[in-house]
Amino acid sequence: MISLFDKRLKYLKKDAHPLASKALNLYSSNERSYKYYCGSTGSDENDWDEFKNWIINWVLGGQTDDDGLLELYLKWVESDGNLTVTSRKSIESFWYNGGPPAFPKKDDVSGQFWIFAAWAITDFKA
């Protein structure tokens, strides 16, 4: 059953980003999805560290670690033209300290992290 408060899902269904469809699949569509991962491992869907573990191990097949994923995230932010000294410090701070405030699924923009996951797959294969 889909939660009425799952704003990630709503975000991904409405987002016009070219990777939104792929991100939606990564979030909830199959046995590789984050929802499946959380259900099968008993993980909390709002746990930032579990999200990173899911990307590292299930999405990228263990081909990187937490530090490598951080570098990939910074590259993603930079690709959108949003990486500044201040944003980099903020990202590095939340990366190892429970995640960004917008990560919980009740946040209006939390789906953006699955856009990142879809981008990471594409970039990692390049």
**Separation CA 52–CA 15 (nearest Å):** 22
On whether residue 120 sits in a domain, the answer given is: yes
- pLDDT in the model for residue 43: 96
The DSSP string of 35-71 is: HHHHHHHT--TT-HHHHHHIIIIIISTTSS-HHHHHH
Listed as ranges, residues in the chain with pLDDT below 50 are: 1
Q: Is the residue at 9 inside a domain? A: no
Q: Are 17 and 111 in contact (CB under 8 A)?
A: no
Q: Total structural domains in the chain?
A: 1
Question: Which two three-digit tokens encode residue 11?
Answer: 């975000």
Q: Which domain holds residue 109?
A: 65-126
For residue 18, being part of any structural domain is answered with: no
Q: So what's the pLDDT on residue 64?
A: 95
> Is there a domain that residue 1 lies in?
no
For residue 89, tell me if it sits in a domain.
yes
**Whole-model pTM?**
0.90
pLDDT recorded at residue 1: 43
